[in-house]
Amino acid sequence: MTLEQPLGSVVQGSLSQGLEVRLHPDVFVEEMRVGKFLVVQGMRSRFFCMLTDVSLGTGSPRILANPPDPNSFLQEVLAGTGTFGTIALTPMLMFTPGEAVSGQRSALSSGTDSRKLKAKSAASYTVQTSADIELLPVKTIPGHFSQVYDASERDFRAVFGWEDDPSRRNFAIGQPIDMAVPVCIDLDRFVERSNGVFGKSGTGKSFLTRLLLSGIIRKQAAVNLIFDMHSEYGWEAAREGKQFSTVKGLRQLFPGQVQIYTLDPDSTKRRGVRDAQELYISFDQIDAEDLMLVRGELNLSEASLENAIILRNEFGKAWISRLLAMSNGEIQEFCETKMGSKSSIMALQRKLNRLDELKYIRQTCPHNYVGQILESIEAGKHVVVEFGSQSNLLSYMLATNVIARRIHHAYVRKAEQFLQTKKVSDRPRQLVITIEEAHRFLDPSTVGQTIFGTIAREMRKYFVTLLVVDQRPSGIDNEVMSQIGTRITALLNDEKDIDAIFTGVSGAQSLRSVLAKLDSKQQALILGHAIPMPVVVKTRPYDETFYAEISEPVWEELPASVVFKAAEAAKADLGF
């Protein structure tokens, strides 16, 4: 292997603060972008690094006191000697070839040229499968004047893998900002923990989420339950831009694997969605804990919630129907015998009347729609729950909590049965639940009462994880944020939101500058459990090319004549 032209030399640094690199005279400082992936070739190891800062340096303060004229000969003379560019690198991973180490020790004792030794070390690894190279956490740094190089395609392949790797379910999420090389995430590691897609409004969170969900479906890494607040994931969605256009939803890409349930059938039909199944929730499916989540939207007091628990304990599942039918005298009599508060119960009765305004609420439901969703999930179908016109926060939060709570109970039972029998047939399918406006469910004041707080903290052992989509990560409880395994973050401006993204992340200070310099469209910083090291990517376009690469074949669309000719050719090959 012939090494590429080096960009600069390591001049100083530390393990905790990173490396300072002085650029060579022929390298333009303007080519160095924050978030770039670079490689430092040490004497024994190869260090994979992220560029976190760019600065200018001078050899003498006298140059700054008397700068040369623009475009003058003196300016050219000083470039690279009196004036130079420096970059800051944060080492993320290192690789030490086993054969190279043993060979280097003997070479060092025999006085072999160090430049030849570095070239040998750089060329001593090849990548055929993910098991060919063992990447290690950085526990040391390269020596003085180690050379820095642009990461090659082989380096990206070694660190991030490739989509057709037979040993992993890899999915290409995008490309580096300066190379046409796929950057992959490991979907098996992605779905085994809760994850987050963050970014301010208009940065493409929905497109990123559709990419991830498409990858999970295509690679069969898990089954999805998607609470689609704005009807963007099921059938189709509008694309941002001056000219109106639409993009395909998951049902169009995977017609045989995705089912759509709707809480507003009229809205779904108006948008041309075919074969969507109706979904209704009855009063007896709503528990007092569900009201705790929507207490702000219903303006419920603590006293009203306490009396809701008293009513639930007395009347069981039918407590809301009984409460709405009670007269003032019945409420008075109930309070005298059960130690309730009449004013609080009457206020609760008045505010729960708002639930009648929700199209999907029924007094009773003869059909168990939530059970039908669970059956679809158990059959390996991916479920999108659309809300249509019922996308206000009260409606979204109530329905989502009711459905997720029942899914949670079912998965706990199935996981406990699997742990008892140890039979592969009893193992529940890995489930990923996608929610939008996640900070409404996971804020510090309510996270202890919502089912999503429970899922984020402990449901990994029950084969259920979350994919949270939010523009205000600072509103999510810190304990929950610390459990987010992989964070895919588009541009954020608020300091509190940026701080929240790096909750529990080592080396966060250097990554803050990287996040702050992202473009507002189609760029994201990815870090966490499903990727070996943080990286900035230009996200994969969600377009016709992606549809062709990701979607399942639609055999029924083939002309009958083509099918007949193919069948006849197959018979001839087999000798019929």
Say what the pLDDT of residue 575 is.
45
Residue 562: pLDDT band by 50, 70, 90 thresholds?
very low
Which residues fall within 8 angstroms of residue 343, CB to CB, at 6 or more apart? none
Domain residue spans of the chain: 8-160, 185-280+367-550, 284-357
Say what the pLDDT of residue 433 is.
93
Q: Are 189 and 396 in contact (CB under 8 A)?
A: no
Say what the pLDDT of residue 78 is.
65
pLDDT digits (tens, 9 = 90+) for 373-388: 988 998 899 999 998 8
Would you say domain 185-280+367-550 falls under CATH 3.40.50.300?
A: yes
Cα gap 215→193, rounded to integer Å: 16
Query: What percentage of the chain exceeds 90 in pLDDT?
Result: 17
pLDDT digits (tens, 9 = 90+) for 267-326: 888 888 878 888 888 888 888 888 888 888 888 888 888 888 888 888 888 888 888 888
Higher pLDDT, 456 or 190: 190
pLDDT digits (tens, 9 = 90+) for 485-515: 899 999 888 888 888 888 877 767 778 888 8
Say what the pLDDT of residue 455 is.
83
Higher pLDDT, 128 or 55: 55
Higher pLDDT, 407 or 59: 407
pTM above 0.85, yes or no: no
Token pair, residue 199, equals: 């970014």
Say what the pLDDT of residue 366 is.
79
* Cα–Cα nearest to 158, from 127, 137, 186, 119: 127
Which residues fall within 8 angstroms of residue 309, CB to CB, at 6 or more apart? 288
Say what the pLDDT of residue 39 is.
93
Residue 213: pLDDT band by 50, 70, 90 thresholds?
very high
Q: Facing residues of 79 across strands?
A: 83
* DSSP code of residue 356: G
Apex 212 CA angle, 388 and 254, nearest 5:
65
Cα gap 328→342, rounded to integer Å: 9
pLDDT digits (tens, 9 = 90+) for 109-119: 444 454 554 44
The lowest-confidence range among 166-170, 316-320, 508-512, 552-556 is 552-556
Neighbour count for residue 424 (Cβ, 10 Å)? 7
pLDDT digits (tens, 9 = 90+) for 236-246: 887 776 677 78
